[in-house]
Structure 1
């Protein structure tokens, strides 16, 4: 397959920056809320005194993560359906409000069950990831823009993770046993009493402030992208336009409902003179539908060349009397699997979109386990040999027990700084890689690095010997987390793009919702199973078992990736000239058809 290469200027021509910025502000608040728990979840569970011993902390940490993911499994599909019925914007606003309530409950939890209730509510009341993914596809409609637009998802996740991990790592203050005040002086005096009573309230209060900013941004500046709902009046956007015009002095934007009102005020009897410009642009509500030119042809004009895909679609839309979604239930055709060809079950499990979704499931599973249990593994106490305190209890290569006694601040620094590297990768490296290489080749090459990462993780313990400098541990961990960040930043946009372009337009939002539900199932299964597995491996002094098993999971994803159909970039990636030609062709066909109808009458 020929991969057509565009210059950066051609690729960015007409890129929808303004709306993607509004969506990005909403999106970045989601990983802040999601990842802020990771640095302190071990200590939070330990302070609840529900685990009988430290080795069981992983199991109860997995319960917190799995309860959140299980509720996402149950709710994400319905949030996708809700956005189809009521619009994307309303779904995002309600999801942000649900997250705010959930985080406040989590921060002020007194026991493990209150914390689990908070995580359950967070999973039930927020389906924004799937809705945002659909919105990005509706904003970036051209293939040349889609890769960069979808790359904002991992970019914003990396950026939000940096902020969330730093908040969770640096704003948790627990008694250390010393007689002095363990709360820093920079913490406001009015909050010190709250921090003493609720050590985990401060990071959640800060995170809710980010969510509130995202909520205000969504209400005022985010435009509806639903093909039908975007035509209804949005008072929030009108208030945002007033702020943009009066305060920032920006030029006002004519909204779809305002254009409709202007057309109604002119009246239906107003005549519009045909001009050369109107003959080369798409018809509007004021365009003259029937021409009096008797020289027009009686039917479809002759086509002297082979149609491109865009021109074919324009021809079908021009002369088709109904869309597939207009069929009655009795008229819908059954597929080979016995399901209706328009059913979500058929599209998810029996079409080409199945393999990208299954790969996304496996990727979500092992990356969630890594992100949530690496801090737990590092926080375990360093085990020393009872017979010789200067030696480790672990024996290379098979006996591995304990951790390296990392504090929340150290874990937060490790994960947030590698997150900064991920932002750099998405901004500067991903666009170059996307323009020059096929997305499936990128994915298949980088998936091979994950097993190496997971094999290396447990052996960081052997760097804790007294004769090895401490900075070796930092280099080792930064190499592992940096490589994992590089792989995630370059592979996740490709999988999302493959899912988006493999989905039929008629049920793309529902498929994205189903994809989020399936990914949430991975985030439910992963922490639940590996929580038990890590606890068991710690008790049996074989910590490598839990991490090596993640490497095997990655090999399954690699096998599934060879069943994914590649994108036809040569056909889809075009420059502005071809887009304009296709619009003119569609417009010519439409006007010719209407003239023919008038002549017959």
Structure 2
């Protein structure tokens, strides 16, 4: 087991700059996702699509499920798109797509137009999987990865503060008793009166546009084959940093990358090897196998040793594998040619199914599926449950009877729900910033995950009984404390377990297939987010109709227990390994020459040292 790092050691060399840029992109997306929660119940009810209030949950589930179903269809293709055209291009298009869909949602006058908007939001944005891949490519050292991946839930918590606040406090619906402020211009008052759900989506779109311009100007491409391609947006950002903020930008690789052919003074492997740098469209390098042998003769061994030292102190994994292949011709191996070719040539289409369902990555992906299912149901339907009117008889007594007869909700308004979710999001930020680093340094991934997942069943058991606090002899603050206890527990567990499961998936994935597996993971998680709201929309509507509202929440508790049992099948991460499967590949002898991409990450020693 690796020794525990101090905070100073863990932060040494941490890639703050690019992670901050990525964070601004990521921050805008949970705002768009969570801004709908406070008012979705009222939006569906105002569309008059549900025959009665008990059926509102079912149609709210449709809105959530169609978004997730479209993510199932598109997430893998967005991951594949980012492999071809770059991560930055995929992120930018995703932000534009989300902004467009929000405008359609804001102008919706009926349920089916809102359904179309949610479908567009799922189809036109695959940024979650792309962002996970980018973070893995930015934070390449194992000691940085847990903290880097924790930025995802941290930013979701920040978005969970702003999103519900925007959705709850910027909804002015006269039928709900909220009057449009007098300081609004006349044209805006008319627009809000005609489209009451437009203003929150306009504000969220502004956040998305800020994230888009930030990505265009300051986000660097991380794709290993495309990051040396000239980026005019980054050049414009460098100009802004230099001439407006007085910050000297770093030298970009496309400014000094030169075409080297048959450079005998600085060979890659052996004295007779030659390297050809391609043009600036791909900026990758290849070994010229037609004109020079890959393996030097025995008489060139001293020159080969010098060529190894010429790489400098830092070697990419591909270079290391190439060197080991050179000097391990006589080492026995049981690894087939196909696996070696996969390690060098990238993730083959017919291997995706194998890597997702037949390797160690299956169990963390399956746990992620279950976690996504019950958490999306909680996120979507807790506001709906709280928005149901309090079920009372003519004398003002509760119709619910402890413990089995539970119906209705507690009559929360959009601004009350928004305040609850936003303040809980603030607590989540505190957890990720202050608690997560301490916990992560003290315990391993699986210990943290397994411990906290045990709290979910208890939390779901408590949810429906908030109704029994709505009595005259019980102070109102008891309801607030009770709800914050529930939402705080969920936030604590989510903030600490989400980066752990992402890290487990990342480190269980083969290096060459991480982008594709991340895309597949998002698709599988989106499938859970499709099934969950669709199924629990029916369950909640049925349970409200038959006065057994506890059923929908207790069933979630059973689902969370399955995730706990499944987590004990996940293999722990070996903190000493830099890459999964690297050792086995590096012990292999070559059966055929490596592909031209096997040295695509090579740069001169000076460039390696500067990086």
TM over 0.5: yes
Question: Is 1:359–2:351 an aligned residue pair?
Answer: no
Q: CA deviation at 1:192?
A: 0.6
Verify the 8 A CA contact 1:3 1:438 in the aligned structure 2. Answer: no
Q: 1:547 aligns with which of 547, 553, 566?
A: 553
Verify the 8 A CA contact 2:180 2:189 in the aligned structure 1. Answer: yes
Partner of 2:489: 483
Q: CA deviation at 1:268?
A: 7.2
CA distance, structure 2, for counterparts of residue 512 and residue 117 of structure 1: 26
Question: Is 1:424–2:430 an aligned residue pair?
Answer: yes
Q: CA deviation at 1:473?
A: 0.2
In structure 2, the CA distance between the partners of 1:341 and 1:375, relative to structure 1 (3 Å rule), is closer
Partner of 1:61: 60
1:231 alignment partner, SS class? coil
CA distance, structure 1, for counterparts of residue 358 and residue 434 of structure 2: 37
Question: Is 1:376–2:384 an aligned residue pair?
Answer: yes
Q: 1:516 aligns with which of 511, 517, 522?
A: 522
Partner of 1:110: 109
Partner of 1:209: 206
Aligned pairs for 1:21-40 (under 5 A) are 21-40=20-39
In structure 2, the CA distance between the partners of 1:312 and 1:142, relative to structure 1 (3 Å rule), is closer
Verify the 8 A CA contact 2:262 2:276 in the aligned structure 1. Answer: no
Question: Is 1:467–2:473 an aligned residue pair?
Answer: yes
In structure 2, the CA distance between the partners of 1:127 and 1:315, relative to structure 1 (3 Å rule), is closer
Partner of 1:593: none
Q: 2:508 aligns with which of 490, 494, 502?
A: 502
Q: CA deviation at 1:231?
A: 1.3
Give CA deviations for 1:350-401 in whole Å, capped at 9, x if unaligned.
1000000000011111010000000000000001124xx2310000000000
CA distance, structure 1, for counterparts of residue 64 and residue 149 of structure 2: 26
In structure 2, the CA distance between the partners of 1:311 and 1:510, relative to structure 1 (3 Å rule), is closer
CA distance, structure 1, for counterparts of residue 162 and residue 30 of structure 2: 9
Give unmatched runs, 5+ long, in structure 2.
268-274, 278-286, 309-314, 327-335, 341-346, 580-598, 603-611
CA distance, structure 1, for counterparts of residue 231 and residue 139 of structure 2: 21
CA distance, structure 1, for counterparts of residue 155 and residue 498 of structure 2: 12
In structure 2, the CA distance between the partners of 1:333 and 1:571, relative to structure 1 (3 Å rule), is closer
In structure 2, the CA distance between the partners of 1:311 and 1:56, relative to structure 1 (3 Å rule), is closer
Q: CA deviation at 1:312?
A: 9.1
CA distance, structure 1, for counterparts of residue 46 and residue 18 of structure 2: 44
Partner of 1:595: none
Question: Is 1:448–2:447 an aligned residue pair?
Answer: no
CA distance, structure 2, for counterparts of residue 176 and residue 569 of structure 1: 58
Verify the 8 A CA contact 1:4 1:569 in the aligned structure 2. Answer: no
Instruction: Give aligned pairs, total.
Output: 537
Q: CA deviation at 1:412?
A: 0.4
Verify the 8 A CA contact 1:332 1:341 in the aligned structure 2. Answer: no
Q: CA deviation at 1:187?
A: 3.1
Give CA deviations for 1:530-552 in whole Å, capped at 9, x if unaligned.
00000000000000000000000
Verify the 8 A CA contact 2:261 2:276 in the aligned structure 1. Answer: no
Give CA deviations for 1:6-63 in whole Å, capped at 9, x if unaligned.
1111111111111011111110111011110000000000000000000000000000
Verify the 8 A CA contact 1:89 1:222 in the aligned structure 2. Answer: yes
Verify the 8 A CA contact 1:333 1:340 in the aligned structure 2. Answer: no
TM-score (norm 2): 0.83
Verify the 8 A CA contact 2:76 2:516 in the aligned structure 1. Answer: yes
CA distance, structure 2, for counterparts of residue 42 and residue 553 of structure 1: 25
Verify the 8 A CA contact 1:340 1:346 in the aligned structure 2. Answer: no
CA distance, structure 1, for counterparts of residue 9 and residue 573 of structure 2: 19
Q: CA deviation at 1:252?
A: 2.1
Question: Is 1:348–2:362 an aligned residue pair?
Answer: no
Verify the 8 A CA contact 1:400 1:543 in the aligned structure 2. Answer: yes
Question: Is 1:88–2:87 an aligned residue pair?
Answer: yes
1:426 alignment partner, SS class? helix
Give CA deviations for 1:457-493 in whole Å, capped at 9, x if unaligned.
0000000011100110000000000011000000000
Aligned pairs for 1:49-448 (under 5 A) are 49-176=48-175, 182-260=179-257, 263=258, 297=302, 315-320=320-325, 332=338, 343-386=351-394, 389-448=395-454
Give CA deviations for 1:403-447 in whole Å, capped at 9, x if unaligned.
000000000000110100000100111011111101101111111
CA distance, structure 1, for counterparts of residue 559 and residue 176 of structure 2: 42
Give CA deviations for 1:501-537 in whole Å, capped at 9, x if unaligned.
1101111100000000000001100000000000000
Give CA deviations for 1:265-324 in whole Å, capped at 9, x if unaligned.
xx87999899xxxxxxxx998xxx999xx99637779x9xxxxxx999764232438xxx
CA distance, structure 2, for counterparts of residue 56 and residue 487 of structure 1: 31
CA distance, structure 1, for counterparts of residue 194 and residue 402 of structure 2: 43
Give unmatched runs, 5+ long, in structure 1.
275-282, 304-309, 322-329, 574-586, 591-601
Aligned CA-pair RMSD? 3.0
Q: CA deviation at 1:255?
A: 1.0
Give CA deviations for 1:163-198 in whole Å, capped at 9, x if unaligned.
1110001000111477xx811234343311011000
1:228 alignment partner, SS class? coil
Verify the 8 A CA contact 1:4 1:570 in the aligned structure 2. Answer: no
CA distance, structure 1, for counterparts of residue 237 and residue 94 of structure 2: 20
1:230 alignment partner, SS class? coil
